[in-house]
């Protein structure tokens, strides 16, 4: 036992000595990625400060602001915002993971190490520990040296210990994950090059498979809802990409919008768990691995066929989707066949290290082709019942109507369920007049199901739609007015932030006033919420409140949503005038030069209205949808406040002919008579001037 312990310690020293190049590489890499840039930033900042102080007319406030910006940048660089350190961590994790176990790919080295009087477990622990000791001490020493230099040069205020601590934990977890997966690839394979190829597959295959699943579902299923968190799910499935979205144990400001519902801390714990499982799998496979498998493509014969079939299937579908995008639907099927065949040939060559094996295992190729094409045809025919799916009413916890499931009242649940039944029935019913409607169900087992239907509009659907969107529960769940919390102290990404509300009217595209006082914001929102719930149909929107958060130290605000004030919200309008002095400002006929009416009937025609009386009629209840952002805002409230005449658009030009103003109307207040007057005249004269008719 003593000899084995001393042999184990000697082997660790020998491993560190033989891999000294890795330690040197890590030290030099972190010096270049961490210490040197920090020194350069500080030296440049000192020079700039000296220049600023010598400049005439430069105020003390400007100098302090410049210095604070330097401290902020330096703090980010010392913490989780140093991209170069992250690149070094990923690179060293890959290099060390493969290098520490590359001896398994050489018969002579395997015979030597496996002949030593040491157990496979201790040999694995020794090799794995060597890779960690080659990298992490260098990282921590260089970071400590950088912090010491920061304090020594007078930039100590830039040091944020919480951010630095979070950055260290984040880097250690991501390094451990990449290192473990690299070691796993080296143990699974008998060749270093193939190990690197397998590592690429391990790192990127989950995200690629998920993306392909989205593409196939979107292609074959009529009711599939794409884009629900797709980007951030793909990012999370690729840890080395997600690593660059982290700022320590939180998300960076630029990446926070793709965070979704998973916190950065939770995701770090998931990555740590995967790393631990990968290490455990490495240990098990290392002990099972036969010495004579050195030099083989894969060291475990039983996994060769499943790995090949899986890679061929994924590669075939990927080539098919590529052909579909480039050349159209027909080419999806030839693309699948070509992709499966090419990947089968390639893997056969890699397995045998012989081009003559390109046509080997024809039954594997045929079986893979049959399975992949059968699955794709089954999706096309909806054999799995995806489009016809209906939930069990007794298993539904909540429903959503164009959103995540947040509605729980019996009336709304029954209405959404009935809309779904109509949607399923409409799949085979081709109608010209259809409405696109998304629904969602939260099942009692925690699963969330989304579906989208093109529903033939009828009285029943219209009544159900009005019932849902006009319910108080829907408004409280969907309107930004109710979901915005000015008291939280953080934005949606968990960053420290303060509430900020900007007021927009139809008079300008810039905010007329901005409120930052928390008590006044709460008073304003409480007043508007009470009035909005009893607002009658046909109320005219006259103001938009931009509901924002401003993060600490940021020079810009992050918009969380919008709320709209209408002409019947008299208490809110009075309060806004009292707080900010802002009043509604409707479009005036005197400021408009002409109004363009564009008709999209059987033929497209356009008329310029210049008659002052008709301009006044068109503007009597008109809403400037551009200034209020009603034409582009995704707010459930905003989309329900205005309507547009059927098969046409209305745009007003001001006296300078420079501002194109989009026009909409409150529900039920479209000036149909004057519009139909010009529609008929446009049709009558379209033969003379088909592009435009001017009536003054």
Full 3-state SS string of 65-91: HHHHHHHHHHHHHHCCCCHHHHHHHHH
Residues 6+ apart with CB under 8 A from 406: 398, 400, 477, 478
Element (DSSP H or E) covering residue 497: strand 497-505
Q: What is the pLDDT of residue 354?
A: 76
Are both 564 and 627 inside the same structural domain? no
DSSP-based three-state secondary structure for 228: coil
- Domain-located, residue 212: no
Q: What is the pLDDT of residue 691?
A: 45
End position of a domain, from candidates 536, 558, 580: 580
Element (DSSP H or E) covering residue 598: strand 592-600
Q: What is the pLDDT of residue 187?
A: 92
Task: Supply 502's token pair.
Answer: 């900007």
CB contact at 8 A, 606 and 542: no
Are both 71 and 195 inside the same structural domain? yes
Are both 239 and 258 inside the same structural domain? yes
Are both 603 and 676 inside the same structural domain? yes
190-208 b/e (C-beta count within 10 Å ≥ 16 → b): bbbebbbebbebbbebebb
Q: What confidence tens digit (pLDDT) does each residue in 660-692 have?
A: 788 889 988 889 888 888 887 877 766 544 444
- Domain-located, residue 334: yes
Q: What confidence tens digit (pLDDT) does each residue in 604-628 have?
A: 888 888 888 888 898 898 998 888 8
End position of a domain, from candidates 478, 506, 526: 478
CB contact at 8 A, 88 and 143: no
Residues in the chain: 696
pTM (global) more than 0.85? no
- Domain-located, residue 221: no
Q: What is the pLDDT of residue 115?
A: 78
Residues of the chain predicted below pLDDT 70: 1-11, 52-53, 55-59, 62-63, 227-231, 253-262, 430-433, 491-495, 552-556, 631-635, 657-659, 685-696
**If you search the block for the tokens 């029935």, which residue do you land on?**
425
Q: What is the pLDDT of residue 56?
A: 64
Are both 427 and 448 inside the same structural domain? yes
Closest-CA residue to 100 (of 194, 6, 18, 176) = 18
Are both 457 and 515 inside the same structural domain? no
Residue 560 φ then ψ, to 5°: -100, -20
Are both 6 and 139 inside the same structural domain? yes
CB contact at 8 A, 598 and 606: yes
- Domain-located, residue 216: no
Find the domain containing 354 and state its range. Answer: 300-380
CB contact at 8 A, 202 and 193: no
Are both 117 and 244 inside the same structural domain? yes
- Domain-located, residue 508: yes
Are both 277 and 202 inside the same structural domain? yes
Element (DSSP H or E) covering residue 608: strand 604-609
- Domain-located, residue 222: no
Q: What is the pLDDT of residue 458?
A: 82
Find the helix packing angle between 459-469 and 410-426, rounded to 10°.
Answer: 140
Are both 166 and 245 inside the same structural domain? yes
User: Measured between alpha carbons, how far is residue 119 from residues 5, 116, 670 in Å?
Assistant: 11, 8, 85
566 pairs with which residues across the strands? 541
- Domain-located, residue 387: no
Are both 469 and 488 inside the same structural domain? no
Q: In 383-409, where does DSSP find H-type helix? A: none
Element (DSSP H or E) covering residue 631: none
- Domain-located, residue 215: no
End position of a domain, from candidates 580, 598, 623: 580
Are both 630 and 546 inside the same structural domain? no
Q: How many domains does the chain have?
A: 5
């Amino acid at each position: 036992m003593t000899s084995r312990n001393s042999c184990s310690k000697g082997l660790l020293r020998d491993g560190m000595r033989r891999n000294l190049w890795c330690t040197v590489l890590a030290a030099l890499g972190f010096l270049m990625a961490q210490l040197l840039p920090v020194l350069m930033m500080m030296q440049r900042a000192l020079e700039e400060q000296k220049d600023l102080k010598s400049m005439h007319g430069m105020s003390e406030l400007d100098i302090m602001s410049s210095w604070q910006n330097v401290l902020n940048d330096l703090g980010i660089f010392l913490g989780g915002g140093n991209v170069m350190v992250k690149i070094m961590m990923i690179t060293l994790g890959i290099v060390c993971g493969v290098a520490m176990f590359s001896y398994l790919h050489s018969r002579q080295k395997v015979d030597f190490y496996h002949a030593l009087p040491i157990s496979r477990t201790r040999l694995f622990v020794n090799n794995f520990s060597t890779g960690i000791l080659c990298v992490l001490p260098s990282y921590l020493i260089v970071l400590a040296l950088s912090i010491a230099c920061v304090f020594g040069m007078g930039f100590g205020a830039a040091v944020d210990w919480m951010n630095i601590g979070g950055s260290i934990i984040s880097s250690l977890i991501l390094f451990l994950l990449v290192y473990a997966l690299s070691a796993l690839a080296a143990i699974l394979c008998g060749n270093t090059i193939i190990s690197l190829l397998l590592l690429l597959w391990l790192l990127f295959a989950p995200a690629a498979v998920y993306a392909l699943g989205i593409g196939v579902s979107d292609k074959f299923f009529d009711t599939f809802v794409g884009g629900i968190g797709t980007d951030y799910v793909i990012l999370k499935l690729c840890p080395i990409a997600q690593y660059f979205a982290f700022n320590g144990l939180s998300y960076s400001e630029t990446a926070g919008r793709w965070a979704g519902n998973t916190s950065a801390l939770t995701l770090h714990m998931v990555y740590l768990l995967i790393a631990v499982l990968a290490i455990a799998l490495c240990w098990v496979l290392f002990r099972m691995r036969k010495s004579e498998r050195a030099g083989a493509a894969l060291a475990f014969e039983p996994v060769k066929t499943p790995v090949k079939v899986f890679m061929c299937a994924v590669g075939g579908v990927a080539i098919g989707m590529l052909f579909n995008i480039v050349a159209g639907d027909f080419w999806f099927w030839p693309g699948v066949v070509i992709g499966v065949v090419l990947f089968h040939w390639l893997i056969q060559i890699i397995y045998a290290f012989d081009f003559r094996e390109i046509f080997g295992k024809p039954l594997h190729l045929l079986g893979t082709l049959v399975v992949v094409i059968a699955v794709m045809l089954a999706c096309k025919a909806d054999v799995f019942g995806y489009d016809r799916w209906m939930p069990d009413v007794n298993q539904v916890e909540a429903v959503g109507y164009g959103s995540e499931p947040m509605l729980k009242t019996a009336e709304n649940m029954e209405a959404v369920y009935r809309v779904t039944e109509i949607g399923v029935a409409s799949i085979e019913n081709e109608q010209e007049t259809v409405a696109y409607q998304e629904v969602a169900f939260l099942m009692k087992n925690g699963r969330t199901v989304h579906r989208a239907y093109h529903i033939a509009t009828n009285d029943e659907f219209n009544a159900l739609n009005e019932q849902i969107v006009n319910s108080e529960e829907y408004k409280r769940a969907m309107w930004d007015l109710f979901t915005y919390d000015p008291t939280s102290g953080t934005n949606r990404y968990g960053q420290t932030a303060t509430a900020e509300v900007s007021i927009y009217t139809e008079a300008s595209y810039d905010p007329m006033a901005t409120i930052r006082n928390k008590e006044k914001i709460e008073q304003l929102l409480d007043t508007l919420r009470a009035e909005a719930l009893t607002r009658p149909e046909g109320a005219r929107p006259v103001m938009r409140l931009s509901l924002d958060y401003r993060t600490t130290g940021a020079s810009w605000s992050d918009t969380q949503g919008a709320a709209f004030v209408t002409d019947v919200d008299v208490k809110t309008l009075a309060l806004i005038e009292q707080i900010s002095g802002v009043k509604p400002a409707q479009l005036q006929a005197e400021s408009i030069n002409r109004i363009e009416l564009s008709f999209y009937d059987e033929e497209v025609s356009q008329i310029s209205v210049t008659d002052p009386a008709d301009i006044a009629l068109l503007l009597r209840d008109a809403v400037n949808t551009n200034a209020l952002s009603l034409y582009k805002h995704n707010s459930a409230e905003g989309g329900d406040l205005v309507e547009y005449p059927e098969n046409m658009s209305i745009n007003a030009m001001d006296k300078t002919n420079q501002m194109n103003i989009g026009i909409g109307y409150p529900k039920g207040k479209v000036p149909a008579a004057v519009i139909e007057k010009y529609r008929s005249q446009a049709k009558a004269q379209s033969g003379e001037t088909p592009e435009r008719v001017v009536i003054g």
